[in-house]
Amino acid sequence: MAGLYVHFPFCAAKCIYCDFYSRVRKDWTPYVEALLRELSDRRDEFVKMPGYAGHDVFVPTTLYFGGGTPSLLPAPLLARVAEAARETFGRPSCPAPTGHLFEEFTIEVNPDDVSTEKATAWRAMGATRISMGVQSFDDRHLRWMRRRHTAADAVTAFDRLRAAGFDNLSLDLIFGFTGLTDETWAASIAAAVALRPEHISCYQMTGRYAEPDEEICRRQYRMLQERLHAAGYGQYEVSNYALPGKESQHNSAYWAREPYLGFGPGAHSFDGDRRRSWNTPDIDAYVASRQGGEEWLSDSEVLEEKLMLSLRTVRGLDLSILTDDELCRLNKTTLEEFSRAGKIILEKAVIRIPEEELFVSDWIISRLFPEYTA
């Protein structure tokens, strides 16, 4: 499985927690023209990747429009990019089951952009999945985050998306920020569950507004796990929950180190092996002449990525994907120590972090790196 990511770095206003590259501006058409050029310029990049050379029928299976705020743009501009992606990377002999080439086509949206007309247009252009940034169902917190919508707006937007025919909707929530009480967090979780989206992503706030008390954040994370599990959502990654069969295909490919191409300023690409590349995060430079950089991962960095990405998932790391050298280089002393302490579970050549320890997964994973010493 491989995917395409297209970045739309435009916002109507900057939220206080956001560290993605975006700008408050509206020169959308020149930007879309630059995207179309990049799509065309890189049409043969997938078949040059390790393991795929010479396979003419190899196609990306997912398309993801992220931001920024893709929903801010007029639907006809988004449709031009979607159609170009189909024409550029499609292979007539290998259609997707959906009939739209991509098995999963996600668009990130903000609630205040979701009109009936736009929702209908997104569906008509082949989008199969919508990821909506709600962040909170408490209007006080939304104003503090500088969000442009209210809790009621989010519910209205959700209903419009359902009416347009979307049967795969994801909602984003944020926890772990100063001023969030257990009561207001529980209310936001309940409001999200009441809408019954197929997928819920929940992220802990970082930076200057993050809650400094780790125990409060841990408690909120555990509350999230318990309440979503009780509502029928399965956790499949540190921050992601889904109804059965509704896990994000696109993001799951990232954690499996599958290849992907990223388009637009600040977007990253990966060849599925060692090469990571990126576009410079500058809209004007991108429109004038696309620039970027690349790096080639060392053996140690490849192993660290396999550990970090696989162990973020509930499924864990299948040790069979490691080379003999990588197996030898694992920090076995720490692995055995964590296994005895219940921080790591080892079953049938698979290691995983139990759900009750996922809150500190980064800490656990880093200590399995070969270079780590206590």
**DSSP-assigned states of every residue in 187-244:** HHHHHHHHH--SEEEEEE--STTB-S-HHHHHHHHHHHHHHHHHTTPEEEETTEEEST
Model confidence band, residue 13 (pLDDT cutoffs 50, 70, 90): confident
Last-in-domain residue among 255, 287, 315: 255
Structure confidence by residue, pLDDT tens digits, 337-347: 999 999 999 99
Residues 92 and 156 in one domain: yes
Inside any domain, residue 24:
yes
Q: What CATH number does residue 323 fall under?
A: 1.10.10
Q: For residue 58, how far is the Cα from the chain centroid?
A: 23
Residue 314 inside a domain? The answer is yes
Mean pLDDT of 233-246: 98
What is the per-residue pLDDT for 12?
A: 79
pLDDT of residue 371: 65
- Based on the fold, state whether residues 190 and 139 are members of the same structural domain: yes
pLDDT of amino acid 372: 56
Confidence of residue 370 (pLDDT cuts 50, 70, 90): confident
Distance from C-alpha of 315 to C-alpha of 98, rounded to nearest angstrom: 27
Summarised one tens digit per residue, pLDDT across range 33-90 is: 999 999 999 998 887 777 555 454 457 899 999 998 999 999 999 999 999 999 998 7
Distance, CA of 153 to CA of 109 (rounded, Å): 13
Within-domain flag for 287:
no
Same domain, 247 and 323: no
Whether 47 is covered by a domain: the verdict is yes
**Same domain? 94 vs 177:** yes
Q: Both 108 and 202 in a single domain?
A: yes
Handedness of CA 308, 313, 314, 315 (dihedral sign): negative
Compute the distance between CA of residue 290 and CA of residue 374 in angstroms, rounded to an integer: 44
Are residues 71 and 122 located together in one domain of the fold?
Answer: yes
Q: What are the pLDDT digits (tens) for 155-211?
A: 999 999 999 999 999 999 999 999 999 999 999 999 999 999 999 999 999 989 999
Could you tell me if 30 and 129 lie in one domain? yes
Mean pLDDT score across all residues of the chain: 91
Per-residue pLDDT for 23 more than 90? Answer: no
Mean pLDDT, to the nearest integer, of 131-143? Answer: 97
**How many domains is the chain partitioned into structurally?**
2
Whether the CA torsion 84, 24, 128, 306 is positive or negative: it is positive
Q: Where a domain ends, among 237, 255, 273?
A: 255
**Structural domain of 30:** 3-255
User: In this structure, are 227 and 345 located in the same domain?
Assistant: no
Q: What is the average per-residue pLDDT within 9-15?
A: 81
Does the residue 268 lie in any domain? no
> Which of 197, 232, 255 finishes a domain?
255
Claim to verify: residue 344 and residue 222 sit in the same structural domain: no
Domain shared by 322 and 176, yes or no: no
Q: What is the pLDDT of residue 8?
A: 96
Token representation of residue 322? 């490691």
Select the more confidently predicted residue: 321 or 97: 321
User: CA–CA separation, 37 vs 280, rounded Å?
Assistant: 16
185/321 same-domain check? no
pLDDT tens by residue, 290-315: 999 999 999 999 999 999 999 999 99
Exposed/middle/buried for residue 360 (C-beta within 10 Å: 0-12, 13-18, 19+): middle
Could you tell me if residue 273 is inside a domain? Answer: no
What local confidence, expressed as pLDDT, does residue 24 receive?
76
Q: What is the pLDDT of residue 247?
A: 98
Do residues 352 and 236 both lie within one domain? no
- In this structure, what CATH number is given to the domain that contains residue 91? 3.80.30.20
CB 6 within 8 A of CB 35: yes
Least confident of 97-106, 194-203, 255-264, 269-278: 97-106
* pLDDT value for 19: 67
Residues 76-129 pLDDT 10s: 999 999 999 999 987 554 444 444 578 999 999 999 999 999 999 999 999 999
Cα four-point dihedral sign 330, 331, 334, 340? positive
Beta-strand ranges (E) seen in 71-197 are 104-109, 129-135, 169-175
CA distances from 205 to 16, 210, 269 (A): 10, 5, 25
Residue 286 lies in a domain: no
Annotate 197-228 with b (16+ C-beta within 10 A) or e (fewer): bbbbbbebbeeeeebeeeebbeebbeebbebb
Domain membership of residue 277 (yes or no) is: no
